[in-house]
């Protein structure tokens, strides 16, 4: 067995450690890492084309799920624009990403309304809805907060709701929570890691 001088062995070890740390620096998530958490495992909702959907339908893709509503004045449209920009920056990898918009306003967000609203941001995006019981179940499973904030009339209410998005890896495991309003770049960075 060949014995190498101690200084040479230390040099080699430090060189390998340097290479390892350099190569992994870009592999760290920018958004909140939820890897290993035991919730948000699935859903059963209807998409804006009338098809029943579950998380398993999107296996092989990174999935971004946002809970909102079509009459939202601020967070929802800005999040959807942000995700449309993400898809543009992902270029050809965008085909491996599915964005889902889950309504927390089942009383007003009909299939027709979601079909008119969601694809306006990107034709690949899907709007999902359920009846009030299904909506409540999915929100509970995903630990998403939502409640009505009364308006001047019965139909002019707004919805207070969680403003971030969940990201799942191509195996359908929850991996990230994305905060609202940080721009496309951090999301693109993290999606590319998940799609490696």
- 66 neighbors 102 (Cβ within 8 angstroms): yes
- Gyration radius from the chain CA atoms: 21
Contacts of 33 (CB under 8 A, 6+ apart): 175, 176
CB-facing half-sphere around the CA of 34: CA atoms within 13 A: 21
Known binding residue 161? Answer is yes
Q: Please indicate if the annotation marks 180 as binding a ligand.
A: no
- Listed in sequence order, the residues at least 6 apart from 131 whose beta carbon sits closer than 8 Å to its beta carbon are 106
18 in a labelled binding site: no
CA distance 167 to 74: 21
For the annotated binding site for Cu cation, the residues are 72, 76, 161
For the annotated binding site, the residues are 72, 76, 161
């Amino acid at each position: 067995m060949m014995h190498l001088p101690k200084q040479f062995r230390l040099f080699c070890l430090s060189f390998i450690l340097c290479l390892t740390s350099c190569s992994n620096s870009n592999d760290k998530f920018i958004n909140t890492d939820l890897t290993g958490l035991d919730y948000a495992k699935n859903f059963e909702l209807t998409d804006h084309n009338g098809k029943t959907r579950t998380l398993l339908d999107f296996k092989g893709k990174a999935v971004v799920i946002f809970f909102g509503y079509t009459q939202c004045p601020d967070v929802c449209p800005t999040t959807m624009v942000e995700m449309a920009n993400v898809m543009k920056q992902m270029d050809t990898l965008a085909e491996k990403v599915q964005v889902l918009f889950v309504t927390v306003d089942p009383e007003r967000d009909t299939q027709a309304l979601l079909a008119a609203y969601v694809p306006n941001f990107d034709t690949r995006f899907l709007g999902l809805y359920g009846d009030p019981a299904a909506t409540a179940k999915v929100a509970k499973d995903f630990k998403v907060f939502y409640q009505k904030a009364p308006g001047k009339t019965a139909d002019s209410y707004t919805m207070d709701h969680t403003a971030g998005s969940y990201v799942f890896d191509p195996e359908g495991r929850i991996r990230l929570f994305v905060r609202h309003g940080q721009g496309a770049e951090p999301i693109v960075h993290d999606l590319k890691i998940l799609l490696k």
